[in-house]
Amino acid sequence: MAVPVQYYLVFSTLVFCIGLFGVLTRRNALFFLMSVELMLNAANINLVAFSFYHGNLTGQVFSLFTMALAAAEVAIGIGIILVLYRNFADVDVTSATTLRW
């Protein structure tokens, strides 16, 4: 018998929490992007695990979609970071606060 589905869930939770930790603590925008990528992949793990558990391919198909989405998101994210760098000469997210209030 294969690995039970609970193990996958615990694993994906761990990966998601690492990503969340990165988002909450890092100030560098590139690390932000990487952390978000980790959280997305945690979700992908869940999708594939449940797909396997239920015995159909829907989950796997959706995880493909998510990867495509993640690629697009990274493209836009890096674009934003580039602009951020040009305007503030830095990629620190806490320094880009001129639009508040």
Q: Give the binding site for other proteins (CB under 8 A).
A: 20, 23-25, 27, 32, 93-94, 96-101
We find the least distance from the C-beta atom of residue 52 to other proteins, in angstroms, to be: 26
The residue (of 68 and 99) whose beta carbon lies closer to other proteins is 99
Query: What would the DSSP string read from start to end of 24-68?
Result: HH--BHHHHHHHHHHHHHHHHHHHHHHHHHHTSSHHHHHHHHHHH
The residue (of 5 and 96) whose beta carbon lies closer to other proteins is 96
We find the least distance from the C-beta atom of residue 89 to other proteins, in angstroms, to be: 18
Specify burial of residue 42 (Cβ count, 10 A radius: 0-12, 13-18, 19+): buried
We find the least distance from the C-beta atom of residue 48 to other proteins, in angstroms, to be: 23
Tokens 């040009």, residue?
86
We find the least distance from the C-beta atom of residue 101 to other proteins, in angstroms, to be: 6
The residue (of 64 and 82) whose beta carbon lies closer to other proteins is 82
The residue (of 6 and 97) whose beta carbon lies closer to other proteins is 97
CB neighbours of 92 closer than 8 A, spacing ≥ 6?
A: 27, 28, 29
